[in-house]
Amino acid sequence: MAKIVVDVMLKPEILDPQGNAVASALPRLGFTFATSVRQGKRFEIEVAGEPTPAQLAEVEKAAEVLLSNPVIENYVVRVEK
């Protein structure tokens, strides 16, 4: 079954204190690879059968209206097999 995935991330210019907290916790555990961490949200939406273009358009609309706040967040809609 296909899944529609919506990834929501804070816009780059918006301060992300949660991401910063994760970034500063990593080196305390010996993980020194990160120069920056941003934290976001992932929505997994199941539909019956293959998603149709009409359904994807509806999901785009839902992402704009409810799943994200366009003032502070960006979103990406994709289909995951």
Task: List residues binding another protein (CB under 8 A).
Answer: 10, 13-15, 17-18, 21, 66-67, 69, 71-72
Least separation in angstroms between residue 41's CB and another protein is 8
Q: Which is nearer to another protein, 12 or 53 (CB)?
A: 12
Q: Which is nearer to another protein, 2 or 72 (CB)?
A: 72
Least separation in angstroms between residue 20's CB and another protein is 8
For the chain, the straight-line distance linking the first and the last C-alpha, in angstroms and rounded, comes to: 7
Query: Using CA atoms, how far apart are residues 61 and 50, in angstroms rounded to an integer?
Result: 19
∠6-25-19 over CA atoms, to 5°? 30
Q: Which is nearer to another protein, 13 or 46 (CB)?
A: 13
Query: Using CA atoms, how far apart are residues 51 and 73, in angstroms rounded to an integer?
Result: 24
